[in-house]
Structure 1
């Protein structure tokens, strides 16, 4: 039976992973992208976040079941190879890396916009360049330092969100800072067209941004390869997902729309900052801007970590350049960090060229990549469950609830989102770019990975190298994904 590989240093504690899970739900998609979702759907955006969040929770439970069973680096990329075949693993791993790269560009774009609130005359790309070098430095040190950084950044975000909900509730109840005659509450939220202000079509249009907001949450699964106790840490983090979605998205946005009519949110900056600025509470606006900047840094940090670890796992399977598997003396894959830094530097150029329209374009493309990865996670999980039943293997320690109905419902919803991207004019470019990306991966696998494997095999036949060392170096890419070594904790 195929095994899985993991050679990274294990330094992430339960505390680290739990707050990484918390932080993954509070990022650019909430603090900035929610403006576009609100503009599309009006108050019905709350329903969109609830529906999308339920589907994402089922994806995370599927990933959690596999991660507890196989706590490895590369996570779902290796699961796809194991249960769906080498090409599925190749396409899943690289699409996730692509997703993280695109999301990171969206995050650095948002970071530049947030800094513009304080320094409107400074070009955005200058701030982005500075944060790129900072993030690269954080990701090159020990993974425990990364975990501590994410812990404190996530703690700031969590505390700020809770404080904002409580402060917003006080404004709604007592009217602090509101003009005379204001009537905060449901009347304000529903006063500009009702709950479905833009109709059912508006609700559907919001899903591309809503699902983008949840993108990257699957990074929790990748931490399994570096968790000190993955069987405890992963379930604990994943089981908090429903509460996070209800608190951080539904409650928070409901409070915002009860304070100020939703149609006043224009997306020029974070809706959180904009609303508190409109209320004439400048100190609150500046504090919130500091919080959203913290959220952006945390998100970029997590994006870089996730993409790097996935590329490391791909390299171990023979699906990426061998250089990506090189480990520094701190136990981190330094080459993948350098690659992500280069991608973010490209984001600097894009922000200089397309400062106004870049975020929506990038967000929709990231949504396609995100949903594709979730589809592959669900399909891998279904294949694993079938194998467990077929071979009479021990049951899972962290099974998906309501199997198999819940898993197939989530699968159908994700397929629906992909179709929706093609139907909506504003997001159609995402489906076009996504299909081109999948086609490019097919060609890369067909002529690069498999071709290299055949050439190595032919060379072995010609030279007659049969010793163990040569055989190991001549394994084809397909074989590599099926014969990687056991996890480091079992060696």
Structure 2
């Protein structure tokens, strides 16, 4: 599930904007950002192993920071998934334009929205199998692309109009790893962190996993090598194959590069792969948002209708809500086909980083509570813990706050701050007048909710 959401549009399409901003230095951005995200995932994993519940990190925010924090976290994650899904369907339309340039983008966007709605209304088992095979396709393709790219570099294959030989010479075509200076590296973080958005979906699945104490740590512990392989290695290879300065965002950089290398078959195969990746990401985003809304309805943080489950064990109302949101994406693609992706990506970055900050804040509050209550400290396994404990979590927290500040440096991403502040203000008003004082079990009093009661289909 985490692969489905995190390895998609941010890598296959959004990486073009990151490369344009930072050049080869974008590799450092992915490594630094990936390290911070790994700490966030370990913090969430430590909490999920102790308290496996559906909608986990919103539950932890309620438990350790208060109901309002849980409300903000749950709805902001839902907002994140909705915005990311709109970005994904936008990219899907761009990918289809590689084959059908004369067909309006919004037509393809509408088609994929209807497909995703149908998949998410099926049984969870069918959804899981679909997502598994979609993820297998894109993961296998990335590995094959890296292997094929390395072979092209070793055997000295060059593009017909290449000015430099493939390899380090092409990577260093601008004469430096930092062609746009340190500021270029900083600006790239807005898109880089967007690429990692959705990986926290691991926590959403904790309440439905058969053995979360085993499966959640196993998934999280693979994050570092996945980042090195899927992001750093793949982008390093494509920037050694083709002058990165010619990447223009008109298509996936993966497709554009192999097309420019005079290997049209490879370009078409990769375009099919990135389309598969987009469908996988939209699928995972819709699942994540739906399950969070379902969990929040049990908290009293969302309408009770979101807890309605179909005969297939699916919270169908949440699927319909996400489908409506994606249909809004269809309209936006018809009105703003050229500018939509950058705007949406920056807004999604704000929402993503905010959720990560709340995960870290919940973790730090949990550690403080355990220190105050010796009995609580002995409950649950401690063998799966954040490396470095609270000190590392504070460093990751400072980095995430820094990313939010960076959004103000560019006029294109500054809209994310305005939208983010407005979103939080709206949530505060809604909580004050519609949620505060209502009945529900926020678990802020420390009581454990039976995970079976909030697990979909159980």
Shared fold per TM-score greater than 0.5: yes
Corresponding residue number in structure 2 for 1:422: 408
* Pair 480,382 (structure 1): closer, same or farther in 2 beyond 3 Å: closer
Shift of 1:196: 0.5
Question: How far, CA to CA, are the matches of 2:447 and 2:297 in structure 1?
Answer: 13
Shift of 1:66: 0.8
Corresponding residue number in structure 2 for 1:228: 210
111, 119, 143: which is aligned to 2:100? 119
Which is greater in Rg?
1
Shift of 1:229: 1.3
Asked if the contact 1:41/1:198 (under 8 Å) is kept, the reply is yes
Question: How far, CA to CA, are the matches of 1:43 and 1:210 in structure 2?
Answer: 13
* Pair 256,336 (structure 1): closer, same or farther in 2 beyond 3 Å: same
* Pair 119,446 (structure 1): closer, same or farther in 2 beyond 3 Å: same
* Pair 479,191 (structure 1): closer, same or farther in 2 beyond 3 Å: closer
1:354 aligns with 2:336: yes
Asked if the contact 2:66/2:444 (under 8 Å) is kept, the reply is no
Asked if the contact 1:318/1:480 (under 8 Å) is kept, the reply is no
Deviations 1:423-442 (A, max 9, x none): 32221100010000000000
Question: How far, CA to CA, are the matches of 1:115 and 1:100 in structure 2?
Answer: 22
TM-score, normalised to structure 1, is 0.89
1:362-373 equivalent positions in 2, closer than 5 A: 362-373=344-355
Shift of 1:177: 5.4
441, 450, 456: which is aligned to 1:486? 450
Asked if the contact 1:69/1:397 (under 8 Å) is kept, the reply is no
Asked if the contact 1:76/1:221 (under 8 Å) is kept, the reply is yes
Deviations 1:217-241 (A, max 9, x none): 0001100111111111111110010
TM-score, normalised to structure 2, is 0.95
Asked if the contact 1:78/1:481 (under 8 Å) is kept, the reply is no
Question: How far, CA to CA, are the matches of 2:398 and 2:292 in structure 1?
Answer: 26
Deviations 1:332-383 (A, max 9, x none): 2110001000000000000000000000000000000000000000000111
> Alignment partner of 2:54: what SS?
coil
1:328 aligns with 2:310: yes
Corresponding residue number in structure 1 for 2:396: 410
Deviations 1:70-117 (A, max 9, x none): 111111011100000000000000000000000000000000000010
Shift of 1:398: 1.6
Asked if the contact 1:224/1:230 (under 8 Å) is kept, the reply is yes
Question: How far, CA to CA, are the matches of 2:371 and 2:444 in structure 1?
Answer: 26
Shift of 1:450: 1.5
> Alignment partner of 1:400: what SS?
coil
The count of aligned residue pairs is: 450
Asked if the contact 2:6/2:281 (under 8 Å) is kept, the reply is no
Deviations 1:124-168 (A, max 9, x none): 111111111111111111212111111100100111000000110
Shift of 1:24: 3.6
Corresponding residue number in structure 2 for 1:199: 181
Moved more, 172-181 or 208-217: 172-181
Question: How far, CA to CA, are the matches of 1:151 and 1:82 in structure 2?
Answer: 32
Structure 1 runs (4+) greater than 2 angstroms displaced: 20-25, 175-182, 475-485
> Alignment partner of 1:128: what SS?
helix
Deviations 1:187-242 (A, max 9, x none): 11112141001000000000000000000000011001111111111111100100
Question: How far, CA to CA, are the matches of 1:104 and 1:97 in structure 2?
Answer: 10
Gap runs ≥5 in structure 2: none
Question: How far, CA to CA, are the matches of 1:298 and 1:215 in structure 2?
Answer: 14
Asked if the contact 2:22/2:188 (under 8 Å) is kept, the reply is yes
Asked if the contact 2:159/2:242 (under 8 Å) is kept, the reply is no
Asked if the contact 1:375/1:414 (under 8 Å) is kept, the reply is yes
Shift of 1:183: 0.7
76, 83, 97: which is aligned to 1:95? 76
Q: What is the CA RMSD across the aligned residues, in angstroms?
A: 1.7
Asked if the contact 2:62/2:444 (under 8 Å) is kept, the reply is no
> Alignment partner of 2:314: what SS?
coil
* Pair 174,54 (structure 1): closer, same or farther in 2 beyond 3 Å: same
